[in-house]
Structure 1
């Protein structure tokens, strides 16, 4: 699984219902949006990007969540070299009469669905070697039923790692919601990564000449902890492994 390269986030202030907005977006992008009846999030997957639409109303409690709808685009990594993808999205919205305001929020965490159901109340097992870090997690195949497979997060070209506790369940106060069984997060505009770059720049002004490639701020959950990693890439898989999770004595 490669890291998506770019997100676009728009605020839509349309005087319509969530269903009406989805109908309009389905015609705009010639795609079908799926969502659960009690969910405030709808999704559509296209060839070049994935779209997520966040309702401004909580559909369960019928209360206002925010003043506008949120429209997020997650652009596929291999499409990001084509600078016309972003322009195409904006032109498509405008040509179909959808008024938007582009929003780029510092430290906004974007959830990305995992290809397995990470057991929510179990700790990760973390191992590191050089600039590589691997985290292992238990998997459910249905609620509270453990799979024989182990989930694996493999980080390469690791710059930094830290643990955080006592945060909100959705991590930062600015975090796109999700209705996934399990996910990890990426922060494209990370204050922590910016701080690390500035510090390194002060000691090694030409470091970017020999350290090529983009670093990302990743977050995975370990029971009550958040494990944050600055690395260039994450690969996610599952395998049958023995001896990873040893019983506590």
Structure 2
């Protein structure tokens, strides 16, 4: 059962290795998701894709193979998804308001529910936005099962 209305594909500028899984990494400044990548010839690359989430304040990881998503928009060979009408996001926002109603409202970009699918697991992140950067495999050799 979906806990959201539909998914909007967001193309990545890299080809995520379809046989690997995303790695969730807590950093000093927030949350990152690390993806192994392929070349156009379906060979391992010398880099990983690092998705850095801005103002990320909730994450979860689920060890399930791909769940069918109701899509709005065209998929490419490598996407992540923004989930619209997310019950998880609504629930978290309601909890935040109940716990911290005495805090003044802060003006900021709206938060989104992002879904990063791997071969047999996924990572979900609540954040305002994300960026993608290529970094050498060596920087993540201690956490990724790279070739």
**TM-score above 0.5, yes or no:** yes
5 Å matches for 1:230-245? 230-245=126-141
Residue in 1 aligned with 2:56? Answer: 158
Gap regions ≥5 residues in structure 1: 1-105
Shift of 1:226: 1.3
2:139 and 2:108 map into 1 onto residues whose CA distance is: 36
Aligned to 2:81, which of 185, 198, 205? Answer: 185
Higher relative contact order (CA 8 A, sep 6+): 2
* Residues 1:208 and 1:226: Cα distance change in structure 2 (over 3 Å): farther
Counterparts of 1:239 and 1:129, CA distance in 2: 15
Question: What TM-score do the two structures reach when normalised by structure 2?
Answer: 0.81
Q: Does the CA contact (< 8 Å) of 1:160 and 1:231 recur in 2?
A: yes
Aligned length: 141
Residue of structure 1 equivalent to 2:113: 217
Unaligned runs of 5+ in 2: none
Tell me which residue corresponds to 2:10.
Answer: 112
Deviation (angstroms), 1:210: 3.2
TM-score scaled by length of structure 1: 0.50
Q: Could you give the per-residue CA deviations for residues 178-205 of structure 1, whole angstroms, max 9, x where no partner exists? A: 4411100001321111001111111222
Residue in 2 that maps onto 1:145: 43
Aligned residue runs from structure 1 range 1-249, under 5 A: 106-130=4-28, 132-166=30-64, 168-170=66-68, 172=69, 174-176=70-72, 178-207=74-103, 209-210=105-106, 212-246=108-142, 247=145
Query: What root-mean-square deviation, in Å, do the aligned CA atoms of Structure 1 and Structure 2 show?
Result: 2.4
After superposition, the Cα gap between the structure-2 partners of 1:167 and 1:118, relative to the gap in structure 1 and judged at 3 Å, is closer
Does the aligned pair in 2 maintain the 1:152–1:238 contact within 8 Å? yes
Between Structure 1 and Structure 2, the one with more strand by share is 2
Q: 2:66·2:119 contact (CA, 8 Å) conserved in 1?
A: no
1:87-112 deviations in whole A, cap 9, x for unaligned? xxxxxxxxxxxxxxxxxxx5311111
Bigger Rg over Cα: 1
Q: Go from structure 1 to structure 2 and tell me whether the alpha carbon gap of 1:216 and 1:198 turns closer, same or farther (over 3 Å shift).
A: same
* Structure richer in helix, relative to its length: 1
